[in-house]
Structures are given as structure tokens and as C-alpha cells.
A and B are shown apart, each in its own frame.
Chain A
Amino acid sequence: MSEAINEKIKNYSTAPFDARFPNTNQTRNCYQNYLDFHRCNKVLSAKDHDVTACEWYKRVYKSLCPIGWVDKWDEQVENGSFPGKI
């Protein structure tokens, strides 16, 4: 299972089509992957599992989200003021 995801991460070129977000407005696609990355990290490290699988979400949000948005959110996560549920 983890080999499959590692293979996918290795062959990553750009964020693939996500059927959950088929339309022009991709705001939620970016935000959801950002959330999923942090949630994945939180859950897997709480159970002492390998967090490399979360790398997929990171690659996707890095592709989709403007750098300014990511920097702002990272700062908020760091000082505990991030509004989303992680």
C-alpha cells in the first residue's frame, strides 16, 4: 500500500485531475490538500507511523496553492491561529 503511494509520489509531475473539484473554482482543492497534509501528519505521527505517505498531499498543495497563501497559513499554524480544523 505504501509502495503504491511512494511510486505515485516518485512519478509526480503535477496535481492530477481531482473529481471532487471538477469546476473552474479550485480554491477548495488547494485548501483541502493543505488541510489533508497537516491532518495526515498529525494522525500518523500520533500513532508513530511513517509520515512519508503524507508527502502526496504536500506535493499537490504546493502545486496548486499560491506561495503567499501557503506562507500565510504556515505562519498561522505555527502560532496556533490557523482557522481550519487540523
Chain B
Amino acid sequence: MAYPLQLGLQDATSPVMEELIQFHDHTLMIALLVSTMVFYTILTTVTSKLTNKNMLDSQGIETIWTIAPALILFLIAMPSLRLLYMMDEVNNPHLTVKTIGHQWYWSYEYTDYKNLEFDSYMIPTQDLIPGQFRLLETDHRMVVPTDSPVRMLITADDTIHSWAVPTLGVKMDAIPGRLNQTTFVVSHPGVFYGQCSEICGANHSFMPISVEAIPLIHFEDWSTSMLAKI
């Protein structure tokens, strides 16, 4: 999850996010190298005492600094497209969970077998117990099994919201009247947080998402206990 003074991406909890982090590191490294080179070139040019009033053109260097950027862009585009298509692959989910954005909470529906539905409100700061995270905890978490492809269907009831969990590499807009699909696999158990990612009114910052991943053998116990409770 996020921590104070964080600069980079959160650690990955899904295979897709691992790939996204690698791609980001690859592209950022290229950007840093190019920026360093340009900065050095400008610095040496500006501080140089040499002057040549007769230089008009140079085919050689023009060729190099046309081909080289094209090659660099190609080296960025290849992994980018590979990842883009990988994220779009058909993956035969084991489970479908629907989430509906409201002002200002999320509700979750598990209707593959029985009709399990519940709301997920943020726990107000004054009601937190020691150890809980401010503005991230919710009264009911969305529980999913680990190592299982999960299909998320995201929509909204009133205005546009957006369902995001950075550590899973997931963000998808919740639009009234539209059902947006995304899929993910959670690699290991834990609790993972996200926040509404589309401005939706006064309490936009106070409708977080929390996803709890548990081993599949315990998942059925949870859903049975939720059905009994709600």
C-alpha cells in the first residue's frame, strides 16, 4: 500500500502489475538517459569557448540523430504493445464480482450462485482502531480468492466514479448505464487498498476500495458467513 514520501509505484500483487512496473522502469530509464545526454550536450555547448562561423550542415550527424530516436521509440513501443495485448487476453474467469459506485460508497455483488450483495463505506477517522489506515479502511471488504482470475464488472448508480486498486494494476471508470469489464489475478493473500479515481462530489476522497485476498478454501466460508449476516 501507499506510504509517506512514496516516489515510485506500489509493489505488485498481480502478474500484470509486475509487467507494468517493468515497462515503467524500462521507459523511465530511457527517458533519464536521453535527458542526461541532452542536458550534458547543452551544458558543454553553452560553456564552450570554440566558435565556428562557417558550419552550415552535416549529413552524418543529422542521419544519426534521426535514426537513433526512431530506434529508441521502437524499443519503447515493442514492450508497450506486448503488454497492451497481454492485458487484453481472454482469461476465462473463475468468479465474477460486480461493483457499483454510489455517492459516496461502493457496493459489491456476487451473483454467480446466490445473491450476495453488500455496501462498503469508509470507516470515519474518529472510529478507527489503532493500526487501521486513515481514509482507506471500509466496513466491508471485497473478498476474492488468490490465484483465481476474477472478472470485475464496474458501473455506477448516479455519477461517474472510478474503481482503482494500484497494487493490482487495475483502474476502470464506473459509468451509469454502462458495464465496464476488467480482470485481475491476485498473487498472494493480503489486504489491498484503492481510492475513487473520478471526481464525484463532496466525498469523492472518502469512498475507498479495500480488497481482501484469501486462499480459495476459505473463500466459500466467507461468502457463506456474509450471506448469513446480510
Contact = CB atoms under 8 A, between A and B. Distances in A.
A66 B179 contact: yes
Contact of A67 (B93, B109, B112, B182): B109
A27 B95 contact: no
Contacts of B96: 14-15, 63-64
B90 A63 contact: no
A27 B115 contact: no
Q: How large is the interface on B (under 10, 10 to 19, 20 to 34, 35 or more residues)?
A: 20 to 34
Contacts of B162: none
Contacts of B95: 13-14
A24 interface: yes
Interface string B85-100: 0000011111110101
A14 B112 contact: yes
Given A13-B112, A63-B112, A68 B181 contact: no
Q: Which of B91, B96, B117, B177 has the most CB of A within 10 A?
A: B96
B25 to A, nearest CB: 27
A76 interface: no
Interface of B: 90-96, 98, 100, 109, 111-112, 115, 117, 151, 153, 155, 157, 172, 177-182
Interface of A: 12-17, 22, 24-27, 29-30, 59, 62-68
Given A13-B94, A22-B90, 10 more contacts: A14-B94, A24-B172, A24-B182, A25-B179, A26-B180, A63-B111, A63-B112, A65-B179, A66-B98, A66-B153
24 contacts: A12-B112, A14-B95, A14-B112, A14-B151, A15-B96, A15-B151, A17-B92, A22-B90, A24-B181, A24-B182, A25-B178, A25-B180, A26-B180, A26-B181, A27-B177, A30-B153, A62-B111, A63-B96, A63-B112, A64-B96, A64-B179, A66-B100, A67-B109, A67-B117
